[in-house]
Every structure is written in C-alpha cells, then in structure tokens.
Structure 1
C-alpha cells in the first residue's frame, strides 16, 4: 500500500508484527495486545496499532518509548480514529508519527491532517494525484486544528496552509 505524507508517496520503513511469530529487527508495528512484548525487545523502533475501540489514554505510560501510533478505520464512516489522533496530539502530547490505516477516502485526507495524522496508508493502486488534490480543495476550515493556522474573521474559520 502506498504511504502518503503531505500528499506525496513516501517509502514505508515499518513492518507489521505477524501473529504467532517473534518480533523482527527494525521498526515494527505491534497490536496493542503485544505492546508489552514490543517494549521488552532490545532494539529497533516500536509502533503500536490502536484498535478503534481503545482509548488513546491506554498508551499514556508507553508513549515515551513509541515512535509511531497507527489508528485504524475499520470502515470509512467510523470516525473514532479521528478522535484518537486528536487525543494523542492535544491531550497526550505525542510527538511521533500518527498513521491512519484501513478504509480511508481521499475526501477525509485534509481532516486527518488537521486531527494530527502525519501519514496515511492509501489503498493499493490508489491514484496519488486524487489524494493530493484533496489537500488543495479547500482554503478555509471551520473547525480548529492541531496545526498552526491563522484565524480569519469571526468564529472558528481558519485559513488552511496550502503548502502542506
């Protein structure tokens, strides 16, 4: 699957842990059920896949040792991962990579970034230009963001950074 960062395809250096097999070397993403095993290994960066029904708060004690937290969209209309990403950034002050995985639509891309997601696993054979165009579609947003933006007029309207 292509990995997107600010509308561009980037190399994915992470691997997912395989159930029933030992954790490999290098950067690995483990399910939260194997987090303690990952924290106990000697080397390599560690990421965790947060299930949609898990609160980001459950990772508080481990966040300092994590380089990546992946939030999963089981279906495109399940928005819990948006809340998890925002909680990781705003309430838990996580500075590492937040990755969106699962069933995600290009129309959701801008809002993912506004919630604190840094990378998105796009579907296999995705047209990257469509995803990039989704970032350019709007120049004003009504909701606050974790990104620094300047307010315009009254209320919550914000100018979006077109540069990404």
Structure 2
C-alpha cells in the first residue's frame, strides 16, 4: 500500500513486525502495542527507531509515559465508520504534545483524507495508489472551515475576528 506523507507518495521507512517475529537489527520497526508494552524496557536501548500501532479502543492517555521512546505512532481505523482515531490524533497533538509522525492505518478512504490531515495525521497508509494520487485534490477541495483544528488553517470565526467593520485588521 502506498504511504502518503505531506501530500507525496513516499517509501515506508518502517518494517511492520508481527509479535512472534524477532526485530531486525538496525531497521526502523512498527510493532503492536502489546509487544511494545511487554518489551518497553528492552526497547529503550535499541539503536533504531521504534513505532507503535495503537488500537482505537484503548485510551490514548496510556501512551504518554512512552512518548519519548517512540518515533512514530500509527492509529488504526478498523472501519470507515469508526472515527475514534480522529479523537486520539487530536488528543495526541493538542493535550499530549506529540510532535512526531502520526500515521493513519487500516480502512483509510480518500473521502477522509482532509479530516485526517486536519486532525493531526501527517502520514496516511492509503489503500491504493489511485487514492494516494488524489490526496492533493481531496485536501484542497475546501478552503473555509467552521471548526478549528490542528492543521493551523484558521476557522471562519478566527478569520472574521481578525477584521473590523471597516475591513481594517486589528
């Protein structure tokens, strides 16, 4: 599956390693949360980046003590109707201060790219190349937003508050 990062299709630097397989030396790995928690102390000395796949049915606050050990967090969308990962992304960015890469994985659809970007995702594991190629169009379809988000685009309210009646900025 193609990986989209900042609007471009890029090579995935991380290897997904199942729980029962050994971690490759010197390679960036993406592992499940159960394995990460079981091996967290041993992974502290690892010389290569470690990413974690965080399930959407687990409170995101539980990851806070481990943020310094992680180089990537992947949040799962098991179904296109399940939006809990959006909330997890916002909480990671806004409350927990996560500045590293945040990846959307699972049932990721082109119609959701804009909301994913606005929620704080900067990597999207797209289902097919055609979806990845449509990323730019999907994320630039709308230019005015009512809700504030993590992507720093001003909401309509913020835009209006920046103007006076005469049109002069305050």
Q: TM-score range by the shorter chain?
A: 0.7 to 0.9
- Match of residue 168 from structure 2: none
- Match of residue 142 from structure 2: 138
Q: Give 1:104 shift.
A: 1.3
Question: Greater helix percent: which structure?
Answer: 2
On the 8 A contact 1:47/1:70 being kept in 2, the answer is yes
Q: Give the unaligned 5+ runs of structure 2.
A: 162-170
Give yes or no for the alignment of 1:124 onto 2:128.
yes
| Two-structure CA RMSD over aligned residues (Å) | 2.0
- Match of residue 48 from structure 1: 52
Structure 2 residue corresponding to 1:81, chosen from 85, 97, 110: 85
- Match of residue 2 from structure 1: 2
Larger radius of gyration: 2
TM-score (norm 2): 0.84
- Match of residue 96 from structure 1: 100
TM-score (norm 1): 0.87
- What do the CA deviations read for 1:86-123 (whole angstroms, capped 9, x no partner)? 11101100111000001111111111111110100001
Deviates more, 1:34-43 or 1:108-117: 34-43
CA distance in 2, matches of 1:88, 1:63: 10
Q: Give secondary structure in 2 for the equivalent of 1:126.
A: helix
Q: Give secondary structure in 2 for the equivalent of 1:58.
A: helix
CA distance in 2, matches of 1:105, 1:9: 15
- Match of residue 12 from structure 2: 12
Against the structure 1 CA distance between its residues 146 and 61, is the aligned structure 2 distance closer, same or farther, given a 3 Å change threshold? same
CA distance in 1, matches of 2:12, 2:83: 24
On the 8 A contact 1:38/1:46 being kept in 2, the answer is no
What count of residue pairs does the alignment treat as equivalent?
Answer: 157
